[in-house]
Amino acid sequence: MINKNKKDLSVALADYLINANVCKNDRCDNFAVNDAKEYVSPSHYLGFPALHCSRCGSNALLLSNEDINRILLPKIDFYLTKITKACPNCYSLKSISYGKTQQHTLRRQCKVCQTVYNDDSCLTQQQLQQQKKLILLCQLLFADNGLDFKTIIAELGISYSYFYHLLQQLEYIIAKNSLMIFKQKLWKKVYHISTQSLIVPAKNNVSLWGITSVLSDSGYVLLNSLNYTEQVISLQSRYNGKNTQILSSESKLSDIDQILLKYDRFFERKSFDLLIYHSLPFTTDKYTLVEPVVCAYVHFHALRQFYHGLRTNHYLEHEIVLRSAAMTSYSQAIKHNHCAIYYLHELQPANADILSIAKYKVGWWSNPWYELKNAQHKTCRFMGLLTSKNKVSESEIASLPASFQMNERFYTRFYQYFPAAKLRKLSPKYLIQLLNIFTGFYNFCLLDAEQETPAQKAGITIKPLSIEELIKYPVSL
């Protein structure tokens, strides 16, 4: 998905650069404001390098914008050039036809900068032959709940190196086609997105921390991110297991006191936005594990770019790292009241009838938290509203499709095809490729108990797609 031979993307994509070092309190006039005069940076008042906003008193961990943008911008470049078909040099959408190459690939010329580039919407004969191999590879990956790679390689009659080359090409095709189908088929006034973290095992006893964002009312998976990169980043952004307290695996929360306890545990960290999970720091010549907070910023900025221009309700796992990244990434939508962000603790199925709601003021900014109970007077879920501009009634809170059930269903199906024993043989590079390939298969091809796919439930497609149809899009539809 990433073109490593591109020009300096930080110059070409200057309009898309992240500034993570801003005030993250949406009640403050400095919320998401760059270089406000009330900022003190760096401030070490709390024992870690922070951006202190003297207007509201907040302290946000100082992050490396350069590192975050180095990881993010290739994803933005992919989206602009492959999904919107922009010029790869200046990203203009204005172009004219410019003949064909000797391989009969269509060419276009940008009307702004005159750059000539290939239009990959029409395949060459060589690409058509490779497409057949990609279809067979994908079919074998998901045959009988997933064949082992050795069997697939023998079936295809290829080398291990060519297998991994095809895997990379398959990820690229499925990621591109999935986004193109989504963009052309689905437009909604309100999106309900549930975002939950996960930990995935990989090679060399490494574990990866990741995030999955799902449409909570249909189960359509929008985006996965894992905390590894092949980009060269500074020590500041590399995962350091010694930074703070280990992320605890808590039991289901049962009352508001445990919500308060979770806030207290954020205070126990060396910095609120630094967490560790059950993995040691790991760096090789080929890739590096990054801090989860860096992964979160890249994830939410990519999510906003890929699915922008929509009214959005976010339901986040109760983790401050997710809050910081989501609030910053969606700051402009929040200011215009086009985005609401909630913390979510789910205890009972989301489809249970809500009988009563209790309201509390919780957290550093006294955010309203709602405890929703069913007809049996059992708590179904807690929801904490993080965006102060949103004024919602109790009936509106009760009607929101806030749930992590769809996230967990996705994880369950992924591990059915790729159990931990198989994943532990893979480097992070190939693991994320498999995860993204599976996501396309899950969204468009894999039937649930109701004999529908998430894409059907979301209104993106009217029927399940075969693997061949997904890979051959748009010719197949």
User: Rounded mean pLDDT of 149-175?
Assistant: 94
Whether 31 is in a domain gets the answer: no
Number of domains in the chain: 2
For residue 202, give every residue at least 6 positions away whose Cβ sits within 8 Å of its Cβ, in sequence order, or none.
208, 423, 424, 426, 427, 428, 431
Are residue 226 and residue 350 in the same domain, yes or no?
A: yes
Whether 392 is in a domain gets the answer: yes
Are residue 109 and residue 193 in the same domain, yes or no?
A: no
What tokens appear for 52 in the block? 């202190």
Question: What are the DSSP calls for 72-105, one per residue?
Answer: HHHHHHHIIIIIS---TTT--S-EEEEEE-TT--
- Final residue in a domain of this structure, among 429, 448, 463: 429
- Final residue in a domain of this structure, among 429, 445, 469: 429
pLDDT at 401: 93
pLDDT at 20: 97
Sign of CA dihedral 369, 374, 379, 383: negative
Give the structural domain span for 110.
86-120
Are residue 262 and residue 395 in the same domain, yes or no?
A: yes
pLDDT at 128: 76
- Gap between the Cα atoms of 448 and 451, Å rounded: 5
- Gap between the Cα atoms of 44 and 62, Å rounded: 10
Nearest Cα to 183, choosing from 95, 92, 79? 79
Are residue 202 and residue 105 in the same domain, yes or no?
A: no
pLDDT at 390: 84
Are residue 116 and residue 203 in the same domain, yes or no?
A: no
More confident residue, 49 or 253: 49
Q: Which range, of 218-222, 279-283, 309-313, 391-395, averages the lowest pLDDT?
A: 279-283
More confident residue, 441 or 267: 441
Tens of pLDDT, residue by residue over 417-473, are 999 999 999 999 999 999 999 999 999 999 999 999 999 999 999 999 999 999 998
More confident residue, 153 or 475: 153
Q: Which range, of 215-219, 369-373, 471-475, averages the lowest pLDDT?
A: 471-475
Tens of pLDDT, residue by residue over 120-154, are 776 666 777 888 999 999 999 998 777 788 999 99
422 by DSSP, 3-state: which? Answer: helix
pLDDT at 309: 64
Whether 415 is in a domain gets the answer: yes
Helical (H) or strand (E) element with 354: strand 354-362
More confident residue, 254 or 277: 277
**Residue 241 clears pLDDT 60, i.e. is over it:** yes
% residues pLDDT > 90 (the chain): 64
Are residue 116 and residue 193 in the same domain, yes or no?
A: no
- Final residue in a domain of this structure, among 120, 146, 179: 120
pLDDT at 321: 93
pLDDT at 1: 45
Surface-to-core class of residue 102, CB atoms within 10 Å of its CB (0-12 exposed, 13-18 middle, 19+ buried): exposed
Are residue 234 and residue 378 in the same domain, yes or no?
A: yes
Whether 168 is in a domain gets the answer: no
Please report where in the chains the tokens 């100082």 appear, as a residue: 62
> What count of residues does the chain have?
477
**Residue 394 clears pLDDT 50, i.e. is over it:** yes
Are residue 213 and residue 101 in the same domain, yes or no?
A: no
Are residue 238 and residue 108 in the same domain, yes or no?
A: no
Its pTM stands at 0.93
More confident residue, 352 or 175: 175
**Residue 4 clears pLDDT 50, i.e. is over it:** no
Are residue 279 and residue 421 in the same domain, yes or no?
A: yes
- Gap between the Cα atoms of 327 and 321, Å rounded: 10
Whether 261 is in a domain gets the answer: yes
More confident residue, 257 or 23: 23
pLDDT at 279: 66
Tens of pLDDT, residue by residue over 104-125, are 788 999 999 999 998 877 666 6
User: Rounded mean pLDDT of 45-51?
Assistant: 89
